[in-house]
């Protein structure tokens, strides 16, 4: 089945180029040029992914994102913006965006991020969807995370990170492996983003229980491993 993508972008020339590129790649793509129109189209139809510009007339992309995440967490959202400020990126991700790309960008990079976001959002039908390890469980259908019997609220990116670790228990994963699997593109520069999100996830898990489960392997990366009864 063809994936359907909604492009919410006020610069019509950019939106049209994105639409043509996505259609060439086999996606269905529709456009909206204001925040209000974009939110209306989002509510009227079913979408597999949303490309959402931050700076929009009538309603900002951040406000559109807030309204989307107030009702559901499943549909992947990739933010588009001309801003490069780290604070803006963190704000969008904390509000539930799955990814964030700064203009100008290469279309190949955007397509890679779209493929990754869609891969993580695929629904599993008729199969067991719970991932379990020790006192940690994740239901991939509801995206519910439970640690020592307590619900843990994660952003979409934090969820993707923890799910990846949970699918590779006891395996030491390098920062580069995590970045490629969770962010879905080659990252040229430092890998501090992995450390930052590991810290976010650890803090939220420790709120549910003080028992550590994500461990640092100095000079290598991270491993998900129960502290008790492990060597």
Residue 72 has what pLDDT?
78
Terminal CA-CA length for the chain:
46
What distances in angstroms separate CA 47 from CA 25, 50, 59, 61, 229, one per listed residue?
17, 7, 20, 17, 45
Mean pLDDT, the chain, as a whole number? 85
Instruction: Classify the C-alpha dihedral 95-99-102-104 as positive or negative.
Output: negative
pLDDT band at 215 (very low <50, low <70, confident <90, very high): very high
Model confidence pLDDT, tens digit, residues 3-24: 999 999 999 999 999 999 999 9
Model confidence pLDDT, tens digit, residues 120-131: 665 433 344 566
Tell me which residue has tokens 């995440």.
69
Model confidence pLDDT, tens digit, residues 148-205: 888 899 998 899 999 999 888 888 999 988 888 888 765 555 678 899 999 999 999 9
- Of 32-36, 52-56, 162-166, highest mean pLDDT: 32-36
Checking 213-222 for CB contacts under 8 A at 24+ apart, the result is: 213/133, 213/134, 213/135, 213/136, 213/147, 214/165, 217/172, 220/172, 220/174, 221/172, 221/173, 221/174, 221/175, 221/177, 221/178, 221/194, 222/165, 222/172, 222/173, 222/175, 222/178, 222/194, 222/198
Share of the chain above pLDDT 90, in %: 46
Residue 26: phi and psi, rounded to 5, are 100, 5
3-class state of residue 146 by DSSP: strand
Domains and CATH numbers, the chain: 4-121 (3.40.50.2300), 130-224 (1.10.10.10)
In the numeric block, which tokens belong to residue 64?
Answer: 């559109």
Look at strands 144-147 and 221-224 and give their pairing: unpaired
């Amino acid at each position: 089945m063809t994936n359907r993508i909604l492009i919410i972008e006020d610069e019509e020339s950019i939106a049209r180029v994105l639409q043509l590129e996505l259609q060439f790649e086999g996606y269905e793509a529709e456009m909206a040029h204001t925040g209000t129109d974009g939110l209306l189209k989002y509510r009227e139809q079913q979408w597999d992914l949303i490309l959402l510009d931050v700076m929009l007339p009538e309603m900002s992309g951040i406000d559109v994102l807030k309204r989307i995440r107030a009702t559901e967490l499943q549909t992947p959202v990739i933010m588009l913006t001309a801003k490069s400020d780290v604070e803006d990126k963190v704000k969008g991700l904390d509000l539930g965006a799955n990814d964030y790309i700064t203009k100008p960008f290469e279309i190949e990079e955007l397509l890679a991020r779209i493929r990754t976001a869609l891969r993580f959002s695929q629904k599993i039908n008729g199969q067991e969807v719970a991932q379990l390890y020790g006192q940690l469980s994740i239901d991939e259908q509801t995206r519910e995370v439970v640690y020592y019997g307590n619900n843990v609220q994660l952003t979409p990116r934090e969820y993707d990170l923890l799910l990846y670790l949970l699918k590779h228990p006891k395996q030491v994963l390098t920062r580069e492996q995590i970045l490629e699997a969770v962010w879905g593109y080659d990252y040229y520069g430092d890998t501090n983003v992995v450390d930052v999100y590991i810290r976010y996830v650890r803090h939220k898990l420790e709120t549910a229980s003080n028992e550590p489960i994500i461990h640092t392997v100095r000079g290598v990366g991270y491993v998900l491993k129960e502290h008790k009864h492990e060597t």
